[in-house]
Amino acid sequence: MAFTTKMKVKTGEGGHEVLCLVKHPMETGLRKDRKTGEAIPAHYIEIMTFKLNGSTVAEAVLGQGVSKDPLIGINVKGAKSGDKINVEWKDNMGETGGTEATVK
């Protein structure tokens, strides 16, 4: 399954707002397929790690209760123009993804 990760960094009062959107099914394991009636296996992001120039600044622990295609936002203080903000995520099936943005 192809997952995409997009990130935007906006300058705001007191820091930079980082918004990260991951195209991911975020299945709880409780729904059933309408055609077959079989349970759809759980498939959800467990952790997202945000880094500024390689140093971790935030971690988000997600789980089954988060909706499809989650949008996660954090505020990063102390970032300067040209700094790199990176996000990486891992799901319960071992799949990973991420992206990087440059502070403007």
- pLDDT tens across 40-99, in order? 999 999 999 999 999 999 999 999 999 999 999 999 999 999 999 999 999 999 999 999
Residue 22: pLDDT band (50, 70, 90) is very high
* 84-91 and 96-102 strand pairing: antiparallel
Distances (CA, A) of 33 to 3, 56, 103: 21, 39, 43
Q: Answer yes or no: is pLDDT of 101 > 80.
A: yes
List the domain range (segments joined by +) for residue 28. Answer: 5-102
The Cβ of residue 64 has, within 10 Å, a number of other Cβ atoms equal to 14
What domain count does the chain have? 1
Residue 14: pLDDT band (50, 70, 90) is confident
pLDDT attached to residue 2: 83
pLDDT attached to residue 13: 84
* 71-76 and 96-102 strand pairing: unpaired
CATH number for the domain spanning 55: value is 2.60.40.10
pLDDT attached to residue 67: 96
